């Protein structure tokens, strides 16, 4: 996958809570191959007139700032494909659906969790200054606003390194193949009914 280290990009405000993955990509597109252009399916049913990503001020946005519980609902990784294929490489929100956050980390999409009040302030300032940029530094774990205000964020160390390296987890795991086989042999005796 494409590594994620730093990103300086236009940040689009989406001040909505519980943006579910059905909204991010509707079910009828899930039968399409990735080559069909998943960016065209992003938010397909909720893109009303004036939708933030369609406004010229936010053209080319690479960061989305949203309300709590972003990416809740269906486990469809296609939601991440649609965001990434549309050029979004980072989503900032007070919280994320767990499955979505896991999927994001495996596709070079950084999920930044910041306190609700911080995100609320960001949303207000981004709406007031259309086209404003944010600078994201994953190794330093910071988001920096145009005026220099720095917000530090926490991230799981394994996910962070995976993003920076653009790593394939299966390779990491297969290095433990002997340990897995040993576990399976012990378990066969312990739980023969499995």
Partner 1 sequence: MTPRTLFDKVWDAHAVLTRDDGQTLLAIDRHFVHEGSFHAFGMIDHAGRAVRRPDRTYGVADHYVPSHDRRRPIADPEVANMVEMLRANTARHGIRLFGLDDPRQGIVHVIGPEEGLTLPGLTIVCGDSHTSTHGAFGALGFGIGASEVSHVLATQTLWQRRPRTLRITVDGAPGPFVSGKDLILSIIAAIGAGGAVGHVIEYAGSAIRALSMEGRLTVCNMSIEAGARAGMVAPDDTTFAYLHGRPNAPTGAGWDRAVAAWRDLATDAGARFDREVRLDAADIAPTVTWGTSPETAVPVTARVPDPSAEPDGRRRAQIVEMLDYMGLAPGVPLAEVAVDRVFIGSCTNGRIEDLRAAAAVLKGRKAAVPGLVTPGSTPVKAQAEAEGLDRIFKAAGLGWGEAGCSMCVGMNGDLVAAGERCASTSNRNFPHRQGQGARTHLMSPAMVAAAAVTGRLTDVRRLMEGA
Residues making contact with partner 1 (CB under 8 A)? 15-18, 20, 22-23, 26-28, 30-32, 34, 45-46, 67-69, 72-78, 80, 95-100, 102-103, 106-107, 120, 156-158, 168-170, 172-174, 176-177, 179-180, 183-184, 187, 191-194
d(CA 178, CA 164): 27
- Reported as type and span, the H/E element at residue 161 is helix 157-165
Instruction: For the CB of residue 20, give the shortest distance to partner 1 in the complex, in Å.
Output: 5
Residues in the chain: 194
Instruction: For the CB of residue 50, give the shortest distance to partner 1 in the complex, in Å.
Output: 14
d(CA 83, CA 8): 17
Of 18 and 142, which has the nearer Cβ to partner 1?
Answer: 18
Of 150 and 158, which has the nearer Cβ to partner 1?
Answer: 158
End-to-end Cα, the chain, rounded Å: 35
Instruction: For the CB of residue 14, give the shortest distance to partner 1 in the complex, in Å.
Output: 12
Cβ-based neighbours of 102, under 8 Å, separated by 6 or more: none
Instruction: For the CB of residue 68, give the shortest distance to partner 1 in the complex, in Å.
Output: 5
Q: Are 111 and 38 in contact (CB under 8 A)?
A: no
Of 150 and 172, which has the nearer Cβ to partner 1?
Answer: 172
């Amino acid at each position: 996958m494409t590594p994620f280290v730093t990103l300086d990009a236009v940040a689009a405000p989406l001040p909505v809570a519980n943006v579910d993955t059905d909204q991010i990509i509707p079910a009828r597109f899930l039968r399409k191959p990735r080559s069909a252009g998943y960016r065209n399916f992003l938010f397909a049913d909720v893109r009303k007139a004036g939708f933030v990503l369609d406004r010229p001020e936010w053209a080319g946005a690479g960061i989305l700032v949203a309300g709590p519980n972003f990416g809740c609902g269906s486990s469809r990784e296609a939601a991440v494909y649609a965001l990434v294929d549309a050029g979004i490489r980072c989503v900032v929100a007070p919280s994320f659906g767990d499955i979505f956050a896991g999927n994001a980390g495996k596709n070079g999409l950084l999920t930044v969790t910041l306190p609700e009040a911080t995100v609320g302030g960001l949303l207000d300032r981004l709406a007031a200054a259309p086209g404003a940029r944010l600078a994201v530094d994953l190794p330093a774990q910071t988001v920096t606003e145009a005026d220099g205000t720095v917000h530090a964020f926490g991230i799981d160390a394994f996910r962070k390194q995976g993003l920076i390296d653009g790593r394939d987890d299966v390779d990491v795991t297969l290095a433990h193949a002997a340990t897995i086989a040993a576990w399976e042999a012990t378990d066969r005796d312990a739980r023969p009914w499995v």
